[in-house]
């Protein structure tokens, strides 16, 4: 039915001249609707950006980063071996210790992390690295087994190869800080001992997230939440500086201290407990870590968080 | 046998479902004014404050349903107005307005003869007194619409204001064709009575120029 007999030109004319005939939705309503539509339908470039962001987030996860670091180290060692730069008389126990899997008792987030090389506890500073190189080059029957045993006791880090668990002097740490470039740079660069010694700080992964996705992250401290801003970045930078090269796994149940949490949406991305002489990092995936702190650094971190 | 060309709205909706945000903007621009007007008029003066809410909800339902939407059965426009009508009915019910389905109304009053014989003829170009007359008629029509049951008001607006065919009106209102037609007939009869009673004194005698046109105009 065409319904022409149901139309009334007079009523239509009156409708066209009604006061609301030219009514349009408010501009803010239009903006809200179009914004919602765009958010739920990302453009191709938006999808690519999202994909990249998620890829970075995945790569920055401690187990994945550890896996890549393992792969890179294995490649470097393999290349050196292939070129014959290492003596043929390498103690097989030492070689074994550098490629052994993490101890079964250590919680391994995923297979990649499980195959992370154990840490050579004396291998961080150049002097220790030279010692390790000497061990590789001229194996000592008395020294190497002990080193291998130590290596077996060492546990893998949450992110990339971790720090030694033996106490080190401040000068030692300064050397490490001065010589530690970014993870990728360290893996790509320099000499054999540097490749062995350089290890990514566990908080590097957090730093990457903050650099890439700060808008999606927020902090909680003292029962209050805060968007990521300059004070939070300053606190994180201070934490990073104070704990550089000191992270090591711990089994402590101690949960005292000033609690600082970093959230990625509703998920806790990282949680730290700043105590008087150390900071604990409770990582949902890889367990609990600690780094010793100078009392002044601990006090400063607590004060900075309290001031948010 | 040739296949009909695809509906532009269907193509835009398909593009939006595939991730083209600009297609949604085009859809919005094509329908926003008519939809907004429809929502305001269906809600009437008593619920006019909810017009923005209903309008926004309607479009958000389009956004949420983009993946499920299929260009079959109804045009995009019909579907859009169906969503808006559902939402408006929800608001009217929530606001305590009675929204009766088809009741047992007596047959509508039909004025004898041409109801608009004393009115100026509809025209695209109006000026002066005629324009002022139609503006007053428009104001009065909105008041008359408010007095209609929602079902009849919706049928009238969909057919007269938004240009939907009766079959599409029936689809939007989710009633049979004959039911939609009956609602429309009741609505028009009541509106004519309401409008005629108000406007007749304004044009006591037909204008000479219009009297000649009256034979051409549909009753």
Q: Is B60 on the interface with A (CB under 8 A)?
A: yes
Domain residue spans in chain A? 52-200, 204-306
d(C-alpha A158, C-alpha A138), whole Å: 32
Across the interface, whether the CB atoms of A11 and B177 are under 8 A apart is answered no
Across the interface, whether the CB atoms of B19 and A43 are under 8 A apart is answered yes
Stretch among A28-37, A283-292, B175-184 having the lowest mean pLDDT: A283-292
d(C-alpha B85, C-alpha A248), whole Å: 63
What is the domain-level CATH number for residue B27?
A: 1.10.1740.10
pLDDT of amino acid A146: 43
Q: Which of residues 103-142 of B touch A (CB under 8 A)?
A: 115-116, 119, 122-123, 131, 134-135, 137-142
For A47, nearest residue in chain B (alpha carbons): B19
Stretch among A119-133, A255-269, B13-27, B131-145 having the lowest mean pLDDT: A119-133
Give per-residue pLDDT as tens, B79-138: 999 999 999 999 888 877 655 555 555 555 555 555 555 566 666 666 677 788 888 888
What residues form DSSP beta bridges with A267? A264
Our CA-based measurement puts residue B119 at a distance from the nearest CA of chain A, in whole angstroms, of 8
Our CA-based measurement puts residue B115 at a distance from the nearest CA of chain A, in whole angstroms, of 10
Helix (H) or strand (E) holding A73: helix A62-83
pLDDT of amino acid B38: 95
What residues form DSSP beta bridges with B196? none
Neighbours of B112 (CB within 10 A): 6
What is the domain-level CATH number for residue B198?
A: 1.10.10.10
Across the interface, whether the CB atoms of B32 and A11 are under 8 A apart is answered no
Residue range(s) defining the domain that contains residue B75: 8-94
Give per-residue pLDDT as tens, B162-173: 889 999 999 999
What residues form DSSP beta bridges with A279? A274, A291
d(C-alpha A136, C-alpha A123), whole Å: 12
**If pLDDT is split at 50, 70 and 90, which confidence band does B175 have?**
very high
Tell me what the mean pLDDT of segment B181-207 comes to: 71
A29 contact residues in B (CB cutoff 8 A): 52, 55-56
pLDDT of amino acid B103: 52
d(C-alpha A200, C-alpha A67), whole Å: 12
Across the interface, whether the CB atoms of B36 and A23 are under 8 A apart is answered yes
Tell me what the mean pLDDT of segment B192-205 comes to: 61
Test mutation, A11, A23, A29, chain B, max B CBs within 10 A: A11
Our CA-based measurement puts residue A168 at a distance from the nearest CA of chain B, in whole angstroms, of 56
A28 contact residues in B (CB cutoff 8 A): none
Test mutation, B15, B60, B63, chain A, max A CBs within 10 A: B63
Burial A170-200 (b: 16+ CB within 10 A, else e): eebbebbeebbeebeebbeeeebbbbbbbbb
Across the interface, whether the CB atoms of B21 and A20 are under 8 A apart is answered no
Give per-residue pLDDT as tens, B55-73: 999 999 999 888 877 766 7
pLDDT of amino acid B121: 63
d(C-alpha B138, C-alpha A19), whole Å: 7
Our CA-based measurement puts residue A24 at a distance from the nearest CA of chain B, in whole angstroms, of 6
Across the interface, whether the CB atoms of B195 and A11 are under 8 A apart is answered yes
d(C-alpha B200, C-alpha B205), whole Å: 9
Helix (H) or strand (E) holding A78: helix A62-83
Across the interface, whether the CB atoms of A33 and B28 are under 8 A apart is answered yes
Give per-residue pLDDT as tens, A152-170: 443 333 333 333 333 444 4
**If pLDDT is split at 50, 70 and 90, which confidence band does A135 have?**
very low
d(C-alpha A143, C-alpha A124), whole Å: 18
Tell me what the mean pLDDT of segment A136-160 comes to: 41
Identify whether the C-beta of residue A231 lies closer than 8 Å to the C-beta of residue A308.
yes
Residue-level length of chain B: 219
pLDDT of amino acid A173: 45
Judged by DSSP in three states, A282 sits in strand
Q: Is B191 on the interface with A (CB under 8 A)?
A: yes
Test mutation, A6, A9, A19, chain B, max B CBs within 10 A: A6
| pTM of the predicted protein model | 0.46
pLDDT of amino acid A108: 41
B165 occurs within a structural domain: yes
pLDDT of amino acid A202: 63
Test mutation, A1, A2, A5, A8, chain B, max B CBs within 10 A: A8
Inter-helix orientation angle A144-153/A126-137, to 10°: 120
Tell me what the mean pLDDT of segment A186-192 comes to: 37
B188 occurs within a structural domain: yes
**If pLDDT is split at 50, 70 and 90, which confidence band does A49 have?**
low
Please give the share of chain A, as a percent, with pLDDT higher than 90.
3
d(C-alpha B161, C-alpha A16), whole Å: 8
Token pair 């010793």 is found at: A292
Pick the last residue of a domain from B94, B118, B138.
B94
**If pLDDT is split at 50, 70 and 90, which confidence band does B196 have?**
confident
pLDDT of amino acid A10: 81
d(C-alpha B192, C-alpha B187), whole Å: 9
pLDDT of amino acid B106: 56
**If pLDDT is split at 50, 70 and 90, which confidence band does A201 have?**
low
What is the total count of domains within chain B? 2
Closest CA to A23 of B48, B126, B175: B48
d(C-alpha A81, C-alpha A84), whole Å: 5
Q: Is B21 on the interface with A (CB under 8 A)?
A: yes
For A46, nearest residue in chain B (alpha carbons): B19
Q: Is B192 on the interface with A (CB under 8 A)?
A: yes
Across the interface, whether the CB atoms of A37 and B25 are under 8 A apart is answered yes
Residues B139 and B201 in one domain: yes
**If pLDDT is split at 50, 70 and 90, which confidence band does A9 have?**
confident
- A131-138 long-range contacts (CB < 8 A, ≥24 apart) are A132/A193, A132/A196, A133/A192, A133/A193, A135/A91, A135/A94, A136/A86, A136/A87, A136/A90, A136/A91, A136/A94, A137/A86, A137/A87, A137/A90, A138/A87, A138/A89
């Amino acid at each position: 039915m065409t319904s022409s007999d149901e139309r009334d030109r007079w009523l239509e004319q009156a409708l066209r001249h009604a006061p609301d005939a030219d009514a349009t939705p408010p501009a803010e309503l239009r903006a809200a609707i179009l914004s919602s539509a765009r958010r739920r339908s990302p453009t191709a470039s938006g999808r690519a950006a999202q994909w990249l962001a998620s890829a970075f987030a995945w790569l920055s996860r401690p187990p994945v980063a550890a896996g890549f670091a393992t792969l890179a180290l294995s490649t470097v060692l393999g290349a050196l071996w292939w070129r014959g730069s290492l003596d043929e008389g390498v103690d097989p126990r030492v070689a074994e210790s550098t490629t052994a899997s993490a101890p079964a008792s250590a919680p391994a987030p995923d297979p990649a992390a499980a195959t992370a090389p154990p840490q050579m506890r004396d291998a961080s500073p150049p002097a220790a690295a030279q010692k390790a190189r000497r061990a590789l080059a001229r194996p000592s029957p008395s020294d190497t087994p002990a080193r291998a045993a130590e290596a077996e006791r060492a546990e893998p880090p949450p992110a990339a190869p971790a720090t030694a668990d033996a106490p080190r002097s401040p000068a030692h740490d300064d050397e490490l800080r001065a010589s530690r470039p970014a993870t990728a740079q360290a893996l790509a660069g320099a000499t054999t001992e540097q490749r062995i010694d350089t290890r990514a700080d566990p908080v590097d992964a957090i730093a990457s997230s903050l650099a890439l996705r700060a808008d999606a992250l927020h902090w909680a401290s003292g029962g209050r939440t805060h968007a990521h801003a300059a004070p939070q970045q300053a606190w994180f930078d201070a934490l990073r500086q104070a704990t550089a090269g000191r992270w090591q796994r711990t089994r402590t149940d101690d949960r005292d201290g000033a609690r600082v949490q970093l959230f990625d949406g509703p998920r806790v991305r990282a949680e730290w407990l700043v105590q008087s002489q150390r900071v604990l990092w409770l990582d949902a995936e890889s367990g609990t870590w600690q780094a010793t702190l100078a009392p002044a650094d601990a006090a400063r971190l607590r004060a900075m968080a309290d001031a948010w | 046998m040739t296949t009909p060309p695809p509906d532009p709205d269907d193509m835009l909706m398909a593009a939006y479902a595939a991730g083209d945000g600009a297609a949604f903007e085009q859809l919005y621009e094509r329908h926003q004014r008519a939809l907004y007007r429809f929502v305001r008029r269906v809600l009437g003066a008593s619920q006019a404050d909810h017009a923005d809410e209903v309008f926004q909800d309607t479009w958000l339902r389009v956004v949420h349903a983009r993946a499920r939407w299929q260009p079959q059965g109804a045009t995009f426009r019909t579907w859009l107005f169906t969503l808006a009508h559902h939402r408006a009915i929800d608001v009217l019910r929530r606001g305590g307005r009675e929204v009766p389905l088809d009741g047992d109304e007596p047959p509508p009053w039909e004025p004898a003869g041409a109801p608009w014989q004393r009115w100026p003829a509809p025209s695209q170009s109006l000026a002066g007194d005629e324009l002022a007359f139609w503006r007053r008629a428009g104001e009065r029509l909105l008041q008359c619409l408010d007095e209609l049951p929602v079902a009849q008001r919706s049928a009238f607006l969909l057919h007269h204001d938004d240009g939907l065919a009766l079959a599409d009106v029936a689809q939007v209102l989710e009633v049979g064709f004959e039911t939609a037609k009956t609602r429309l007939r009741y609505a028009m009869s009541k509106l004519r009575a309401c409008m005629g009673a108000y406007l007749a004194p304004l044009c006591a005698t037909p204008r000479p120029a219009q009297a000649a046109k009256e034979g051409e105009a549909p009753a």
